[in-house]
Structure 1
Amino acid sequence: MSRRPVNPARRIGDGVNIPFVGAVQSKSRSSPLLSIGLVVVGAILVIGYFYSGSGEPSSEIEVVSKVEGGVSCTLEVQRALPILKKAYGDSMRKVLHVGPDTCPVVSKLLKEQDTEAWGVEPYELDDTDTSCKSLVRKGIVRVADIKFSLPYRPKSFSVVIVSDALEYLSPKYLNKTLPELMRVSADGLVIFSGYPGQRRAKGAELSKFGRPAKLRSSSWWIRYFVQNRLEENEAASKKFEQASTKRSYKPACQVFHLKSHH
């Protein structure tokens, strides 16, 4: 169930020029002491590069520690919940999360005071724990194909959050699913989507989803929103950015805030 996020858009080695690496290689035939000294100096500079600024590990350190598990925007939702609460305020009291591994997101939301939460798992649940089975049994989490109508009345939820799900839909089905997500939300829709080139978290098998993930760029999404007359929730987006800056939070996924249809 657990998938670890990563921000491959900032992978180590992609455009990062670490000083002295070339020098160490070119001096390989010099004396052993000189080589060792250069390696030590290079290591110190690399460490200083990663820890520069606030005195805490930068996001590149997180990239190294999380790259093995691949990216999970659903796990990123859990990290972003405090930021979302700052951005949406009271609207975060009635939330629907749509995406794989929704049970942990719903469980975390339910632990918050005065918060109601539901989840939609777009794919069959495999090897679920007792807590998740309990949520399904109570009807809090449902398994539903998001290519079709969602089993909820209009504006059933204040905020709808979707992650790791739209990437598996062709534009044909996006044209059906996004209006449905809008229909059941009253105060906004938040989309967490992977960056192009990101490696998917383990467990996102082709056999399960039926098609490979199509990780789209921010320009593709923005163009799609404009073409389909989906408006950005500018107020929520601004508050999200402000809260992110204040808490030094850097999303590992793209985050889009859209207005609900009224």
Structure 2
Amino acid sequence: MSRRTVNPSRRLADNGSLPFSGTLHQKSRTSPLLPIGLLALGAFLLIAYSYGGLGGFGSARDVSHAGGDVSCMTEVIQAIPFLKKAYGDSMRKILHVGPETCSVVSKLLKEEDIEAWGVEPYDLEDPDSSCKSLVRKGIVRVADIKFPLPYRPNSFSLVLVSDALDYLSPKYLNKTLPDLARVSSDGLVIFAGYPGQQRAKVSELSRFGKPAKLRSSSWWIRYFVQTNLEENEGAMKKFEQAANKRSYKPSCQVFHLSSSQ
């Protein structure tokens, strides 16, 4: 026999899982608005769950962080117009440090009056022809950032870092952050993940050796103070103003630091 679609409330009543189900069924016949109201309530709760999770309602920005695999590398690319507004002439010579730096460098090189270099802190996996060309020309290097970078002080006007510091313990951050500031003359911009933003994939673990240590903004700010790295408030305000005009909300934390002198 063919089976017909069964009304959910009818099935619950038949199974005996709802006490007074007969009463409810009787009311549904006398009040046609009741099932419509229940459907509307169910749809509302489903939407609320999708946007806010079980704990309540959240903004669209919160949804982009929850359990996803958001890459701060893509965030750097999206933020280029706002970085140009914030740093002006300091965007003339840039070093990007982080996984998939070939993609960031390629994008930066397409911008007018920008020279760009990159440091890939992990082994390149199946690089495309464009990335191989950047490596062959020495524009992109593979280097362990737990050790001093092979550049002289103030070699770059601005250093951008994404998805790299999240994998370092404080022991190595104490060495790496000051070294990143050392090679920059005008500033250091760090893109870091939000706590709970990413879950390490098997491919990430095999590549990086460990899951990311995603820290809160308060943790980073305390760390900057402890290591005598000052926030660049002027650049930060210009960046936020430019971003707000375009309704741009970063999916990663963005910190603007002054270079050490």
Q: What is the alpha-carbon distance in structure 1 between the residues aligned to residue 71 and residue 201 of structure 2?
A: 9
Q: 1:169 to 1:204 in 2, by over 3 A?
A: farther
Give me the whole-angstrom Cα distance separating, in 2, the residues matched to 1:61 and 1:186.
Answer: 33
Q: Distance in 2 between matches of 1:166 and 1:113?
A: 29
The correspondence of residues 91-240 of structure 1 with structure 2, limited to 5 A, is 91-200=90-199, 202=201, 205-240=204-239
Deviation of 1:43 (Å): 4.3
**Does the CA contact (< 8 Å) of 2:185 and 2:259 recur in 1?**
yes
Give the 3-state SS of the residue equivalent to 1:251 in structure 2.
coil
Distance 1:62 1:137, change over 3 A: farther
Deviations 1:64-114 (A, max 9, x none): 7x9685111111111111111111111111111100011111111000111
SS in 2 for 1:211: coil
Deviation at 1:153, TM superposition (A): 1.1
Contact 1:78 1:105 in 2 (8 A): yes
TM-score, with length taken from structure 1: 0.78
Deviations 1:32-90 (A, max 9, x none): 96434543576489879x9xxxxxxx9628947x9685111111111111111111111
Alpha-carbon spacing, 1:126–1:179, altered in 2? closer, same or farther (3 Å): same
Q: Which has the higher contact order (CA 8 A, sep 6+)?
A: 1
Whole-Å separation in 1 of the counterparts to 2:199 and 2:107: 23
Q: C-alpha separation between the residues in 2 aligned to 1:159 and 1:59?
A: 32
1:60 corresponds in structure 2 to: 60
Query: Highest Rg: 1 or 2?
Result: 2
**Displacement of 1:170 after TM fit?**
0.8
Q: What residue identity is the alignment partner of 1:89?
A: G
Task: Tell me if 1:39 matches 2:39.
Answer: yes
CA distance in 2, matches of 1:200, 1:162: 20
- Distance of 1:82 and 1:217 partners within structure 2: 26
- Note if contact 2:69-2:198 (Cα within 8 Å) is conserved in structure 1: yes
How many Å apart are 1:159 and its aligned residue?
0.6
Q: 1:249 to 1:226 in 2, by over 3 A?
A: same
Letter in 1 for 2:209: G
Give 1:255's aligned residue: 254
Structure 1 residues 202, 71: closer, same or farther in 2, change over 3 A? farther
Aligned sequence identity (%): 73
Structure 2: which 5+ residue stretches go unaligned? 1-20, 51-57
Two-structure CA RMSD over aligned residues (Å): 2.8
